[in-house]
A and B are shown apart, each in its own frame.
Chain A
Amino acid sequence: MKFSYYPGCTLRNKAKDLDAYARASAKALGFELEELSDWQCCGGVYPLGTDEIASKLSSVRALAQADEKGQSLVTLCSACHHVLKRVNDDMANVEDIRTRANNYMKLDKPYTGQTKVLHFLEVLRDEIGFDTLKEKVVNPLTGRKIGAYYGCLLLRPGKVMAFDDPENPQIIEDFIQALGAEPVVYPYRNECCGGYISLKEPDMAKNMCKTIEESAKGFGAEALITACPLCRYNLNKTQSDLPVYYFTELLAEALGVKEEALK
């Protein structure tokens, strides 16, 4: 099984480990992540302006390249996934954006949103299967109480992202269970961490993150896992005693490839 892979800028800097653990885990699970050549920054935020396409083009290039190879496009970072998936939806459904992007790109074959954009977690759920994952676990995380932190970007807008039920998601809980740990369900797991507001009004983001962490701790979580570098950054800023890991770190640990991943 081979997928096109779009790592994104953060995974080259602050979140190198998110990427490294994912690659090692993929290998252990028997699928290949083939990095796109010359990928560019997705922009980090989905551009809501409808009158310009420039900020959407880097996503279109990545999507079109995967299409040329006939592969699904896999992402890890919540923000990249969000931008790519929504731009892809525009290319499939918004005639104006599709026409203008194609006019500009002058591709051999027009791109009309045919690439399937998958988050790494969706690959685990839908392509590998959590049951298979469970079988491949060599170091089950037995007894560890872990809270899933989804944030907003993976879940909303629910119709476009089609990731899971935005009000009551289940996928990361199932993932935690497959690793042998105990998922802790708490009501703030799908609330916003504050995102980029942490640059302008750090206290606001801190308060939002505290609510999330207090709630998770209150229900017995000993650690949180997330797919988003920005969420992790904001959560760490509160300096609470609740550790926040990338979900791939726990995955690599359970699969017994954590050590070699960082070599």
Chain B
Amino acid sequence: MQRIGVFVCHCGSNIAATVDVKKVVEMARMEPGVVFADDYQYMCSEAGQAKIGAAIKEHNLTGIVVCSCSPRMHETTFRSCAKRYGLNPYMVEIANIREHCSWIHKDMQEATEKAVILARAAIAKVNLNAPLQAGESRVTKRALVIGGGIAGIQTALDIADAGYEVDIVEKTPSIGGRMSQLDKTFPTLDCSACILTPKMVDAAGHEKIKIYTYSEVEKVSGFVGDFTVDIRKKARSVDATKCTGCGVCQEKCPSKKTPSEFNRGLGNRSAIYTPFAQAIPNVPVIDREACIKFKTGKCGVCEKVCQAGAIDYAQQDEIITEKYGAIVVATGFDTIKLDKYDEYAYNQSKDVITSLELERVMNAAGPTKGHLERLSDGKAPKEIVFIQCVGSRCADARGKGYCSKICCMYTAKHAMLIRDKYPDVNVTVFYIDVRTPGKNFDEFYRRAVEEYGVNYIKGQVGKVAPQPDGSLLVQAADLLDNRQIKMKADMVVLATAIEPDPSVRGIATMLTASIDTNNFLTEAHPKLRPVESPTAGVFLSGVCQGPKDIPETVAQAGAAAVKVIGLLAKDKLTTNPCTAKPDELLCNGCGNCAKVCPYGAITYEVRQINDHGIREERRLATVNNALCQGCGACTVTCPSGAMDLQGFSNRQLIAEVDAICR
């Protein structure tokens, strides 16, 4: 028989205001096995834990139940408390009477009744708990960063500087990401390339960093500390060890009509290409869909002109398998598609562009060599309208409910830069709200208004109508002046909402990392663990977790790196002992459990057993404790009831249900 102590927490008024904690204590005392019960204001505090410790010693407790917040919050706290006072940590159960009870109920009587029932269930379970011993697993001292934008680069540099090996996997032919497409950055207006390219060079030259560009993660197995990852290195059709990056192949390539991804389709590129001049590595790839040689078999110009003999049409995709201790997701973002926003005529007029396209237009290496001009006729615009929140803060299903966070600032930047370089151009910005929290951000926006004379109008644009003369008529409401506005513009720029890069869905599935309804990766805790995924060993960096500007992304990238370093610094990790365990007398070797196991933790072996005096050889399920994550899929699949989850056995769960239904 267990000797159980029950500890009911007030959580200040979080629990005590809705649950009669004294009553819960009183009722708990009457449960079988309970020898001690008490309540306290904050059980998790030092004094609260001391109370638990004292009770363990004084009453010789063999198990404890803490009625408090969610186990996600403080299970670890109370387990280590029990361990400190000589009790096996797996003899601790949490009855969640906060999230599951006091926070969601208003009526005290009902809430108290439910709290008593939850406590009763936990007590029933502890009565059947057995001490468990955590095992150990090794840590591979190498990290993987998925995505080579500023987030991935910064995380990799920070991890590498701490002395650990890092691999970056980037799906495009070069690292650099979205930041490499930007012209200037707010609020200091320094050029994006000038601050990014040195970091790209640092990453490429770092002895601890290996970069796989034009590569994608294809398969992930294993667990925290011991992941095995397959990386598909797509065929570049260029031998990177021979290529000198001279660029002649790109000049001579006769297929030059493919829209350039880097220039957002505003200009064309050749079939053999590097995305931009400062690309790292400076080794081109052949786009086989566009290449005449691959399509028709005739051409081979690049091979003929290449002095280094680097062109290799026969190159194949390569699969690289590598082990990692930690994985950082830094897959970034893209702008949303504007198919559902035809009122802004984005698909109807070349002079309606997104802000990211404007970055390319303003950039000296862009499609217009940095000249501000209309893409339809190349004329200089005199009147430019910016529309904020296109697809952001959108109540209907067309767009995104969230604020994309970066648009207010980059629009102020664009407006300011245009007014500075072309003082005769009028700039009008239509906004819902101007949101500029951040160091020196509001000052920056005010400069746009006060010093540069940008015309800000509070109100949404209802229609952008292309006119027969090629101009655009913008129809809008001025909410402060309560009037309708119709104004002619030569160019309209849409502050298009951002969303996680579509590749994140597949990556999240491979990593069993959770994503929210907007495809942003979920944090382990929104406030206290913002750079960790709920999946152990997976970390988040940059916009894949939520909209962010560059300074925030870099800060989060560093934070993710610190978490990775903390993990890689350990030699061993303690493993969760709540793993599946088959009863060899009941197992009939059917193989169903192995089929449903998502971690490949179950295998079959033929072993000799002693079944009530009969010795015979049988095919039996065996669980690899290092791989088992304790999900329980096998226990519900097993037809003979042979598979059980330690710490969550069928008997324990039935006892809980019985206690609730009593």
| Residue positions of A touching B, CB distance < 8 A | 165, 167-168, 187-188, 191, 215, 218-219
Contact = CB atoms under 8 A, between A and B. Distances in A.
Given A165-B342, A167-B343, A168-B342, A187 B468 contact: no
B610 interface: no
B33 interface: no
B468 A188 contact: no
A215 B345 CA distance: 15
Given A165-B342, A167-B342, A168-B342, A219 B347 contact: no
Given A187-B473, A218-B468, A219-B468, 6 more contacts: A167-B340, A167-B343, A187-B345, A187-B465, A191-B463, A218-B469
24 contacts: A165-B342, A167-B340, A167-B341, A167-B342, A167-B343, A168-B342, A168-B347, A168-B348, A187-B345, A187-B348, A187-B463, A187-B464, A187-B465, A187-B466, A187-B473, A188-B465, A191-B463, A215-B465, A215-B467, A215-B468, A218-B467, A218-B468, A218-B469, A219-B468
Contacts of A187: 345, 348, 463-466, 473
**Interface pairs A-B: 7 shortest CB-CB:** A218-B468, A167-B342, A187-B465, A168-B342, A167-B343, A219-B468, A187-B466
A165 B468 CA distance: 23
A218 B465 CA distance: 12
A165 B348 CA distance: 14
A188 B467 CA distance: 10
A167 B467 CA distance: 16
Contacts of B465: 187-188, 215
Interface of B: 340-343, 345, 347-348, 463-469, 473
Nearest to A191: B463
Contacts of A218: 467-469
B292 to A, nearest CB: 36
B463 to A, nearest CB: 7
Contacts of B468: 215, 218-219
Task: Identify the interface centre among A165, A187, A219: most chain B CB within 10 Å of its CB.
Answer: A187
A129 to B, nearest CB: 25
A191 B464 CA distance: 12
Contacts of A219: 468
Nearest to B473: A187
A165 B440 CA distance: 43
B476 to A, nearest CB: 14
A219 to B, nearest CB: 5
A159 to B, nearest CB: 9
Contacts of B463: 187, 191
B398 to A, nearest CB: 10
Nearest to B462: A191
A135 B371 CA distance: 51
A227 to B, nearest CB: 21
A105 to B, nearest CB: 34
A191 B467 CA distance: 15
A219 B348 CA distance: 13
A131 to B, nearest CB: 25
A211 to B, nearest CB: 9
Contacts of B464: 187
Contacts of B469: 218
Contacts of B473: 187
Nearest to B469: A218
A19 B276 CA distance: 62
A215 B469 CA distance: 10
Contacts of A165: 342
Task: Identify the interface centre among B347, B467, B469: most chain A CB within 10 Å of its CB.
Answer: B467
Contacts of B343: 167
A215 B471 CA distance: 12
Nearest to B468: A218
Task: Identify the interface centre among A165, A167, A188: most chain B CB within 10 Å of its CB.
Answer: A167
B465 to A, nearest CB: 4
B320 to A, nearest CB: 46
Contacts of A167: 340-343
A96 B467 CA distance: 46
Nearest to A185: B348
B579 to A, nearest CB: 50
A5 to B, nearest CB: 33
A168 B341 CA distance: 9
A191 B468 CA distance: 17
A215 B340 CA distance: 23
Contacts of A215: 465, 467-468
B345 to A, nearest CB: 7
Task: Identify the interface centre among B341, B464, B468: most chain A CB within 10 Å of its CB.
Answer: B468
A218 to B, nearest CB: 3
A219 B463 CA distance: 18
Contacts of B342: 165, 167-168
B385 to A, nearest CB: 15
A67 B464 CA distance: 43
A213 to B, nearest CB: 12
A61 B343 CA distance: 37
A142 to B, nearest CB: 24
Nearest to B465: A187
Nearest to B472: A187
Nearest to B341: A167
A47 to B, nearest CB: 24
A256 B341 CA distance: 40
Nearest to A216: B468
Nearest to B343: A167
A57 to B, nearest CB: 31
Nearest to B347: A168
A183 to B, nearest CB: 14
A238 B119 CA distance: 79
A167 B390 CA distance: 15
A168 B339 CA distance: 10
A141 to B, nearest CB: 23
Nearest to A167: B342
A205 to B, nearest CB: 15
A218 B340 CA distance: 26
Contacts of B341: 167
